[in-house]
Chain A
């Protein structure tokens, strides 16, 4: 993987982290207000979910260069 490609992947990772954090926070607030009588735990749970999804996406993106894709395996 070239330095440029790695840099782009990290940029995507950080952007995705920000987006998922905001989405998780927003959805957590919505669910907290609508269903759970404005308690804090749905907000924390939603934020945690968002960060976890971002971490998982990052991991897959950074590993994708080294993982043999099934199409390549079939051709071989």
Chain B
């Protein structure tokens, strides 16, 4: 009786370990098979697929649970377009600085002339 209980406990431990191994191995295999562990091209393709699949999945879950998510606010700012804007604006300012300075100097001199009239 005592030996059979020990045997049953060992079998249970082995089965538990085998189940854990299957779960972890399965997760690793799914990640490898979907191209998540490959090179950069496969990674960006996987991200594209996830982006395409996300809104329909969210909509289905919303229908299932019966409530609506608030609409995402539209942000006008684009980091891609704004990336070099600081450098571009600085150099544009530098390039027009001489002509702007001469315009302001002329305006200042004209103002002083008008004052002294």
Q: Does B13 contact A (CB under 8 A)?
A: no
Cβ of A15 and Cβ of B24 under 8 Å apart?
A: no
Q: How far is the CA of A5 from the CA of B110 in the complex (A)?
A: 53
Any chain B CB within 8 A of the CB of A27? yes
Which residues of chain A are within 8 angstroms of B48 by Cβ–Cβ distance? 15
**Contact indicator B20/A12 (Cβ below 8 Å):** no
- Closest A residue to B50 by beta carbon equals A19
Chain A contact patch, size range: 20 to 34
Task: Please classify the interface of chain A as helix (H, G, I), strand (E, B), loop, or mixed, using the class held by over half of its residues.
Answer: helix
Interface size of B in residues (CB-CB distance below 8 Å) = 16
The answer to whether B44 touches A12 (Cβ under 8 A) is: yes
A-contact 0/1 string along B5-36, CB 8 Å cutoff: 00000000000000010011001100100001
Interface assignment of B99: CB less than 8 Å from any CB of chain A:
no
Quick one: which of B40-99 are within 8 Å of A by CB? 40-41, 43-44, 46-48
Instruction: Determine whether the beta carbon of A34 is less than 8 Å from that of B36.
Output: no
Hey, which bits of chain A sit against chain B, CB under 8 A? Answer: 9, 11-13, 15-16, 18-20, 23, 26-27, 30-31, 34-35, 53-54, 57-58, 60-61
CB within 8 Å of A: which residues of B?
20, 23-24, 27-28, 31, 36-37, 39-41, 43-44, 46-48
Extra pairs beyond A15-B40, A27-B31 (19, CB < 8 Å): A9-B40, A11-B44, A12-B41, A12-B44, A13-B40, A15-B48, A16-B43, A16-B47, A19-B46, A23-B31, A26-B27, A30-B23, A30-B24, A30-B27, A53-B37, A57-B39, A57-B40, A57-B43, A58-B40
